[in-house]
Structure 1
Amino acid sequence: MPFHPSPAKPAFVPPAGAVDAHCHVFGPAARFPFAPERKYTPVDAPAETLFDLRDHLGFARNVIVQATCHGTDNAAMLDAIAKSGGRARGVAVLDETVTDAELERLHAAGIRGVRFNFLKRLVGDAPRDRYVKVAERIARLGWHIVIYFESEELEELSPFIRALPGTIVIDHMGRPDVTAGLGSEGFARVRALMDDPRFWIKVSCPERLTAAGPMYDDVVPFARALVEANPDRVLWGTDWPHPNMRSHMPDDGMLVDMIPRIAPTPELQRKLLLENPMRLYWPEEVL
């Protein structure tokens, strides 16, 4: 599905310097081809459009996350970071054969983490041996690991995830089943991971989790519970351009206007949108 052509101007004004800590760039395919093994083909979503959206929504910076449709070719993301004037950082997807020289190049280019995907519909059986080797390779750079999974699979995945080194960031609230309620076993396992101070979590993607649809009222309690329990280890992002959506395409302005519902005080909003992402992605600028 194409991304929303004219997102609303949000009523909520993010704090100065706010970071959209989860978004993507795709293509243009004529310049940055998609991976032959991809499970979906997104619309072109170039850096210039992302940065226009950033400004429209009232944000100052982006963290661009590599998605499976580009595989381990991080060129489109690196091109976007280079065009950002220092206002973007990235999370890459890597093969275990990456050289030390390439890792150094990626670090200098603004990469600060790697993403491990466990969603069977996107990667089949996750290559855990490769993930372990990549985790070992990046440890010396101080990068973190972003993990994407379904909460219903967490009972089996949890020992492997806990054994990974360093800081670990959970994508999209761990994808809980919101119809099962805050007390569900899957969400309890996500929250148990957060008991370990190495773990962070993104309170993003209500459009992927909702059963009720916009305004995503059924997702708000999950995000708010995570923000209030872990104020110093939560992140937020648009997930623009919302790849592989099938039910509806969200309005990014509406997503921004959800923020006061999940982080109801200025202090929580500042941690979620500014202090936490700056500490993780631009630590050299944190006073």
Structure 2
Amino acid sequence: MTDQTPIAGRSAYHFEVMRRAIVLVDELGPGARLDDLAREMQMSPAHFQRVFSEWAGVSPKRYQQYLTLGHAKALLRERFTTLEAAHASGLSGTGRLHDLFMRWEAMSPGDFAKGGAGLNITWGMADSPFGPALLMATDRGICGIAFTSEAGEAAAFEDLRSRWPDARYTEDAARITPKAEAIFGQGGEVPLHFIGAPFQIKVWEALMQVPSGHVTTYSEIAAAIGHPKAVRAVGTAVGRNPISLLIPCHRALRKSGALGGYHWGLPVKRAILAWESVRADA
């Protein structure tokens, strides 16, 4: 009998296996053998390798190389993106998750100051390659994506809702599901609606210039938006990005090569960076 589970659903299940495997790689070290990992996961080696490889695209052994702490430093050495050069060469349009065509518009500063008053936001849950995802959208486009595997669904919802506390929220799977399928499935046009302060929006726009499989630094973003000394403020704006993945805040690293923080959990950030690196190498 064939597996009728949707691709995104299988990917979400695979990510749960993947997330636990990341913890094991950290605990057992980079020399952990396939048999050791499979035993700890309570799976046969063959089944573990199949599930893992379907999600990652490579074997667990190969993937471990992308999960080491040194991988972030290697990305900075080999795939550091100068944002001005990326913008000039059109790199921002290549290598996205599904080559999505995205357009975006921002809420005016005056409207943002109202805390979302008068704004109708629909929301719903969806499977993604990085675990369960919470999506929010206005009539103009996606305004929020949160990954809930670390924080939990309720906490993620309150986190996003607190950014626009006076908006009206309606659960509407019928409206959210097609958007989730475009993002995590076969691709398609995905309009974005930036709801943030003007400085935050500048930072988010800069992040969208970083190609998949590449990284940048907080200081590079600060320079690119014309505020080279505002590194701390840039870091705060990166952390407040409400549209995970599509505004790729996971591609921002500290100048030292450290991962820095990630609003939805460092295991998710590490998984996304490794996942994108595998595909960039391929």
TM-score (norm 2): 0.26
Rg comparison, structure with higher value: 2
TM-score (norm 1): 0.26
Flag the structure with higher helix content.
2
